[in-house]
Structure 1
Amino acid sequence: MDNVWGYILWVIFPYVALGSFFFGTIIRLSLYGGNITAKSSELLEKKQLMIGSILFHIGIIFVFFGHVVGIFIPKSFTDFLGIPNEVYHMGALFMGGMAGFMALAGMIILSYRRFTNKRVFMTSSFSDLVVNVSFLIVIVLGLSASLIEGTVFHPEFNYRLNLSVWARQLFYFRPNYHLMLQVPIVFRIHVICGLLIFAFFPYTRLVHALTLPWQYIFRRPIVYRKKGLRGRSK
């Protein structure tokens, strides 16, 4: 039975979540691209939004790229460069911890604002509330996994020997679910919650993160002149 659930959770479910992310995003951008917006509530409350948004976005960007490095750079490469595992681990904990706590602080402020400010709450959709709660859960799980589970209860655990290998295997369609059965439970829950966020990403305001105002880069510059400037130049 464990093998059945292991196969469902670590082979089938990741592709369902990633398929929802990729195909849902393509459909959303193709059919409803003009309706994609972050739906800013800045006019309703600005101070908490600014502080929380800056902290969360800076933190989550560093967290994301930290995950990319942890997954796609194998242990053999850092060994080749002569970087001891202890040094790599301490650096990852320090940088990842700082970025994680920054993202957590920002999300706490944003969630407090969304749930306690009556005007902001009334203009929030159900998906907005789910997004806030989901990010809080994922960030707390990630910090708990790295700073507590991976250092106190399982200090011998090295995610680059199983979790990262499994994640890379997903991209060439040969995931070995037995690798994830070796991973501590908090890490596994963190991965599942992270995949769920990818799954519902295209159907929430999160999709605005993938839209960039390319037209501002390639459009001709707009020249502004003060009124009466031509007359004074004469």
Structure 2
Amino acid sequence: MHTLIWVVVPYACLAVFVAGHVWRWRHDQFGWTTHTSQILENRLLRLGSPLFHLGAFGVIAGHAMGLLIPESLTAAIGVDEHTYHLVSVSGGVVTGVMLVAGLALLIARRFVSGRIRRVTTTMDKVLYVALTAMVVLGMSGTVVINLFGEGYNYRETISVWFRGVFWFRPDPALMADAPLVFQLHAIGGFLFLALWPFTRLVHVWSAPLAYLWRPYVVYRGRRTPAPAPQPAPAALRVVEPATPDTTAPRSAEPATTVKS
């Protein structure tokens, strides 16, 4: 059972993640968008979207540091475990609160606004449920266990197992003694990756990064005088009333005779 959960399921989810994106790109390029609904409702979106995205970027960066950077590397540069734990928990709480607030606002606008509710698809609902589950599990591990609880050093177990998946050497025994909330969060992360290609999240890979290095657009001033404005088409369609032609010869009138 451990091999199925911690070895087979992660690789199956990664395979779906890759194959799903290929299928989506080949068969649904017109749907490869954010499906933005800003034109329908902007008040809650204007606040919820920045909070959600900034919080998500912070959470992803924190996960990358905790899962990909070995504990031996941070120790080698002089960062002890207590300092790392303090920084990671503080950053995780701040970015997590931003993510929770933004996600709550985005979900609320789906119920508050009737127009937004009518354009919400089934896959959108599944995505919001999955995001909520991942956020609740992640915040539970950060706040309940690592902030107010006894703490758990996931860098010695979960991080090693996670890197082993990508090195094709996963060790399921490392996950045996991890707290349940961390186990659910870890396997939920791979299941979330399997869901990713079939949702609006594919727009992440279409970020307009080319704008950062594209050449400037040069606008040159006009050296010659501007042409005279042309009359509007409606003015050209106005037909003036015809005037009588006074130059044309008049027809001869019949002669009249007067009897004396």
Query: TM-score, normalised on structure 2?
Result: 0.80
> Using the alignment, how far apart are the partners of 1:107 and 1:213 within structure 2?
24
Aligned-partner Cα distance in 2 for 1:138–1:183: 17
Q: What corresponds to 1:39 in structure 2?
A: 35
The separation in 1 between residues aligned to 2:133 and 2:223, in whole angstroms, is 57
Distance 1:180 1:221, change over 3 A: same
- Percent identity of equivalent pairs: 35
Q: 1:194 aligns with which of 189, 193, 207?
A: 189
Letter in 1 for 2:167: Y
Q: Within 5 Å, which residues of 2 pair with 1:78-89?
A: 78-89=74-85
SS class of match (2:36)? coil
In structure 1, what is the Cα distance between the partners aligned to 2:214 and 2:68? 36
Q: Aligned Cα RMSD in Å?
A: 2.1
> Aligned partners of 1:154, 1:19: CA distance in 2, in Å?
36
Give yes or no for contact 2:89–2:146 (8 Å, CA) kept in 1: no
- Distance verdict in 2 for CA 1:123–1:102, change over 3 Å: same
Q: 2:93 aligns with which of 80, 93, 97?
A: 97
CA shift digits 1:180-225 (9 cap, x unpaired)? 1111001111122222211110011111111133665676655557
| Residues 63-212 of structure 1 aligned to structure 2 (within 5 Å) | 63-155=59-151, 157-212=152-207
Distance 1:25 1:37 in 2: 13
**How far apart, CA to CA, are the structure 2 residues paired with 1:223 and 1:106?**
39
* 1:103-157 CA-partner distances (Å, limit 9, x unpaired): 11000000011123211011010111111222122112101101112344442x2
8 Å contact from structure 1 (residues 149, 186) kept in 2: no
Distance 2:47 2:99 in 1: 11
Contact 1:111/1:133, CA 8 A, preserved across alignment: no
Q: Paired residue for 2:17?
A: 21
88 and 214 in structure 1: CA distance in 2 versus 1, 3 angstrom threshold: closer
CA distance 1:222–1:160, shift in 2 (3 Å): same
**By how many angstroms is 1:31 displaced?**
3.8
The DSSP-based 3-state class of the residue aligned with 1:150 is helix
Output one character per residue of 1:13-34: Cα deviation in whole Å (capped at 9) or x when no partner.
Answer: 1111111112211222244334
Distance 1:214 1:101, change over 3 A: closer
SS in 2 for 1:83: coil
82-91 or 146-155: bigger deviation: 146-155
Q: Which runs of 5+ in 2 are unaligned?
A: 227-260
- Aligned mate of 1:231, from 225, 232, 237: 225
Q: Check 1:214–1:68 CA distance in 2 against 1; reply closer, same or farther (3 A cut).
A: closer
Q: Distance in 1 between matches of 2:213 and 2:79?
A: 43
Q: Does the aligned pair in 1 maintain the 2:40–2:116 contact within 8 Å? A: yes
1:149–1:184: 8 Å Cα contact kept in structure 2? no
Alpha carbons of 1:192 and 1:223: their partners in 2 closer, same or farther (altered >3 Å)? same
Distance 1:21 1:181 in 2: 26
Figure out how many residues of one structure are paired with residues of the other and give that number: 226
Q: Distance in 1 between matches of 2:220 and 2:122?
A: 46
Q: TM-score, normalised by structure 1?
A: 0.89
Q: Which has the higher helix share?
A: 1
Task: Please give the secondary structure, in 2, of the residue aligned with 1:183.
Answer: coil
